[in-house]
Amino acid sequence: MHAGLGRDVLTLAAGVATGVMSAAFGVGGATISTPAIRALGASAFVAVGTTLPSIIPSAVSGSLRYMREGLVDWDVVTWSAPIGVATAVLGSLLSHVVPGNGHWLMILTALLIGVTAWRMRKAPPRPAVEEAEAEADMAGARAVRQHTFHRTPGVTAAVGAAAGLLSGLLGIGGGVLMVPGFNQIVGLRLKETIATSLVCVGIFAIPGMVTHAFLGDIDWRFALLLCVGVIPGARIGAALAIRAERQQLRIVVASFLGIVALIYLVGEVNALVR
């Protein structure tokens, strides 16, 4: 689609949906904006880079709402963010090394989203943990989580490193790894996971955006319109997630990601074989 009022309106709508997705599910929202601007005419490389600027305002807006609710786990942010920033730069540089003119990056994104959807459909096995946490104080609950899962600086940093790499490489914020990683490996509850992931997503997007800008991968018209849309979208998404029942939220997350992954994969495979 050529640049014009119609494309701009659709880009704004994609921005709102991106903000809702980012704040409600903690996955950066680029699972919406990347395929959206691809459909609106952006190249694969531009789709990867252009989504990163819009991740930052949506992450900030949503994170502020979660912080007021006390849902952000700052220990996890401290352990995962520094290495994630470094790997985000590395991933951004590697994006031009992967063959396929960017299409394989998009296919990898679709597969990753699909795996995330499959894993998120059910909660991790944690009934004993939840029973113990219901009867213990905060310190005791934290000890139980650490014993049952892997709430350690090393494991948390590994999740952050992988998420940062994907943030730069695919322009997706890294939340598609952090949400299942923090929830099913580190042991955070789902709403804590979403809030903490969103903070990290915003941090990782900054170095990735700067690197992709130097590589010439950002269409600033697309980026600015997405940024305008994501701010109100993020406020809506955070409010919905905070009020939602946990299992209902999990099913919605998994279903939505699965649909996006399928549409994304079919479109990119079709573009690759043409």
Percent of all residues in the chain with a pLDDT value above 70, rounded to a whole number: 82
- The whole-angstrom separation of Cα 152 and Cα 166 is 22
Q: What is the pLDDT of residue 147?
A: 45
Q: Quick check: 167 and 208 in contact, CB under 8 A? A: yes
Q: What is the mean pLDDT of the chain?
A: 79
**Amino acid of residue 175:** G
Nearest in space to 181 (alpha carbons), one of 133, 146, 145, 149: 149
- The whole-angstrom separation of Cα 102 and Cα 207 is 20
Backbone angles phi, psi at 195, to 5 degrees: -65, -45
Q: Is the pLDDT of residue 133 over 60?
A: no
Which of residues 135 and 76 earns the better pLDDT score?
Answer: 76
Nearest in space to 148 (alpha carbons), one of 118, 170, 127, 174: 127
Nearest in space to 237 (alpha carbons), one of 225, 252, 222: 252
- The whole-angstrom separation of Cα 180 and Cα 147 is 18
- The whole-angstrom separation of Cα 10 and Cα 40 is 8
- The whole-angstrom separation of Cα 19 and Cα 211 is 23
Number of domains in the chain: 1
pLDDT band with cut points at 50, 70 and 90 for residue 129: very low
Mean pLDDT of the 116-139 span: 53
Backbone angles phi, psi at 22, to 5 degrees: -60, -50
Q: What is the pLDDT of residue 219?
A: 92
Q: Which helix (H) or strand (E) holds 101?
A: none
DSSP 185-225: II---HHHHHHHHHHHHHHHHHHHHHHHHHTT---HHHHHH
Which of residues 55 and 264 earns the better pLDDT score?
Answer: 55
Backbone angles phi, psi at 27, to 5 degrees: -110, 15
| Segments forming the whole domain that contains residue 147 | 5-273
**What is the tens place of the pLDDT at every residue in 30-63?**
667 877 888 888 887 888 888 888 888 878 888 8
- The whole-angstrom separation of Cα 178 and Cα 197 is 6
- The whole-angstrom separation of Cα 181 and Cα 116 is 10
**What is the tens place of the pLDDT at every residue in 178-195?**
887 898 888 888 889 888
Q: What is the pLDDT of residue 73?
A: 94
Q: Is the pLDDT of residue 257 over 70?
A: yes
**Amino acid of residue 74:** W
Q: What is the pLDDT of residue 86?
A: 94
User: Whole-prediction pTM value?
Assistant: 0.72
Q: What is the pLDDT of residue 78?
A: 95
Q: What is the pLDDT of residue 127?
A: 40
